[in-house]
Amino acid sequence: AQTVTQSQPEMSVQEAETVTLSCTYDTSESDYYLFWYKQPPSRQMILVIRQEAYKQQNATENRFSVNFQKAAKSFSLKISDSQLGDAAMYFCAYRSAIGTYKYIFGTGTRLKVLA
């Protein structure tokens, strides 16, 4: 069975600085997808960035980028130029490329942005 581990329950970053959130996962599959979701107090999960396992190039979305290390089964999220609106829970998620495509989530990292 696949598992996702986020070892940082909480992180803090100064506004305009850069922060990296860690995520490791375990799977025996070769084809899968990885995601970072943001969950603000409104509870709605918002997709931040996604990575296809077959792509070697790290995904980037504006201030958000990932460091995907397939052999190490590591998928970290880097947030550059942090903004107050980035404060939220961040969840790393795994999704198989076959089957029902359910997401397997980590336990989350609470990001605080300090003004």
Partner 1 sequence: GAGVSQSPRYKVAKRGQDVALRCDPISGHVSLFWYQQALGQGPEFLTYFQNEAQLDKSGLPSDRFFAERPEGSVSTLKIQRTQQEDSAVYLCASSVLERGMNTEAFFGQGTRLTVV
Instruction: Give how far Cα 100 sits from Cα of 78, 95, 109, Å.
Output: 29, 9, 26
Q: Fill in the per-residue mask, 51 to 90: x = in contact with partner 1 (CB under 8 A), - = not in contact.
A: ----------------------------------------
Query: Applying CB under 8 A, does 105 fall inside the site for partner 1?
Result: yes
Query: Applying CB under 8 A, does 91 fall inside the site for partner 1?
Result: yes
Considering beta carbons, is residue 83 or 107 the nearer one to partner 1?
A: 107
DSSP letter at 55 equals: -
Residue for token digits 């460091």? 67
